[in-house]
Amino acid sequence: MRFEPSEQIERLPEQFFASLSRKVQTLKEEGRDLINLGQGNPDQPTPAPIVEKMRSAAENPEYHKYSPFRGYEFLKKSAADFYQREYGVTLDPKTEVAVLFGAKTGLVEISQCLLNPGDTALLPDPGYPDYLSGTALANAETAFMPLKKENSFRPDFRQIEADVLNRAKMMFLNYPNNPTAGTATAEFFEETVRTAVRHHICVVHDFAYGSLGYDSEKPPSFLQTPGAKEVGVEMYTLSKTFNMAGWRAAVAVGNASVIEMINKIQDHLYVSLFGAVQETAAYAFDHGADMAADILNVYESRRNVFIQALHDHGVTVQSPQGSFFVWMEVPQGCTSASFTEKLLEEAGVVVAPGHGFGSMGEGYVRIGLLEEEERLKEAAERIAGVAAAVK
């Protein structure tokens, strides 16, 4: 007996990278020496003090029961204190912080909170694919904001048609950006707030790579912008800041009406995170500054080594200012897909093809700085070899 999926499930986009992952697995099983730079999964372990905190917290029998539906207040307070300390942003833990099962969950849920069928959401192109997952579940319309090199991979609101802005109810932004590694400025966020106020748009800023800014340039929080809390929320995950990707701990912060919507939908979907994870997340927010700095230093050193190695082998590429990605233009005569295939088949280097993130990603590949420095040097040499052969 076969059951038919609901229309909601049918609307979900295919996971673009699933086929690439299967091919990579097949080659690994064949014994190929692959350097996998195609993922967005931190390769280093969670810092030992955080792991030790989890061990002790897990022994608390209080956490063996259901957690409070909307999470423990101590985690919300730690998140608010973190924002005050790091960004000078004041948050009410009770009304302006929601606990999430990872930012991915929040980024999908929020479309269900704000969008009715036929409503319009503004999405970056290229952008994180799960923005589309949420809008598909909500049966909403999407309008894409091109991220172009000549505009530092930020949308130009002046180029978006007025009727599209007037229809839009929500806008996704993400800086430092996945996949382009572009960064935001205070001036850009100020313009974003003005646009959101003018057109009554809720801004959702995905701050997943907020801790990863290079050359002593700290990425700004959207909520630092005057008026930002009036028009939007920010989602902050511990996945990259503290190498806690598998822990699925994050928060949404900002506009109280939106935070209440997120809490309400999660009342029906979850009974919040395991209490020991929440205590450990609070510990990371409260005591993890030095650990986060060490993680940043690892990625900055890797960036420097990888970019220099590419340059040494005759490949010119823009050095990223944030995230742990390099957004590399493919050689002339190649598409994103064909260059990705060549790198995999001929050089054993796995990268993510740019068109998988949207039509404006065509002509690029995304490279993750997610191997040790010696392997990154080797990857740069292999990439350069393939690039030279197709010229």
313, amino acid identity: H
Helices (H), 88-129: 102-114
To the question of domain 7-46+291-389 being in CATH 3.90.1150.10, the answer is: yes
- DSSP-derived secondary structure letter, 237: E
Among 341, 299, 321, 282, CA closest to 79: 282
Sheet holding 325-329: strands in order across? 325-329, 364-368, 352-353
Say whether 65-288 and 7-46+291-389 share the same fold.
no
Q: What is the 3-state secondary structure (H, E, C) of 44-87?
A: CCCCHHHHHHHHHHHCCHHHHCCCCCCCCHHHHHHHHHHHHHHH
Report pLDDT digits (tens) over 71-111: 999 999 999 999 999 999 999 999 999 999 999 999 999 99
Report pLDDT digits (tens) over 314-371: 999 999 999 999 999 999 999 999 999 999 999 999 999 999 999 999 999 999 999 9
Among 204, 177, 197, CA closest to 318: 177
For tokens 């590429």, what's the residue? 317
Helix (H, G, I), strand (E, B) or coil at 252: strand
Among 206, 232, 152, CA closest to 184: 152
- The dotted CATH code for 65-288 is 3.40.640.10
Kindly report the backbone phi and psi dihedral angles of residue 133, in degrees, each rounded to the nearest multiple of 5, phi listed first.
-60, -45
| C-alpha span between 172 and 166 (Å, rounded) | 16
Report pLDDT digits (tens) over 17-70: 777 778 778 877 887 889 999 988 899 999 999 999 999 999 999 999 999 999
Q: Which sequence spans correspond to the domains of the chain?
A: 7-46+291-389, 65-288
- For residue 12, name the pLDDT band (cuts at 50, 70, 90): confident
For tokens 């990863």, what's the residue? 212
What per-residue confidence (pLDDT) applies to 47? 97
What per-residue confidence (pLDDT) applies to 88? 97
- DSSP-derived secondary structure letter, 38: S
Average pLDDT, the chain: 95
Cβ neighbors of 360 (< 8 A, separation 6 or more) are 125, 126, 144, 146, 147, 148
Range 241-256 burial, b when 16+ CB lie within 10 A, else e = bbbbbebbbbbbbbbe
Helices (H), 221-332: 228-231, 238-241, 256-269, 275-287, 289-312
Among 264, 197, 184, CA closest to 226: 197
- For residue 190, name the pLDDT band (cuts at 50, 70, 90): very high
Among 363, 359, 356, 362, CA closest to 125: 359
Contact criterion met (CB below 8 Å) for 379 and 37: yes
What per-residue confidence (pLDDT) applies to 329? 96
For residues 180-207, average pLDDT: 98
Percent of the chain with pLDDT over 90: 88
- DSSP-derived secondary structure letter, 178: T
pTM for the model: 0.95
| C-alpha span between 171 and 141 (Å, rounded) | 12
Name the more confident of 53 and 271: 53
Report pLDDT digits (tens) over 216-264: 999 999 999 999 999 999 999 999 999 999 999 999 999 999 999 999 9
**DSSP states of 313-375:** TT---PPPSBSSEEEEEPPTT--HHHHHHHIIIII-EE-EEGGGG-GGGTTEEEEE--S-HHH
| C-alpha span between 340 and 350 (Å, rounded) | 7
CA dist list (Å): 99 to 12, 82, 264, 358: 25, 14, 12, 29
Burial of 73 (0-12, 13-18, 19+ CB in 10 A): middle
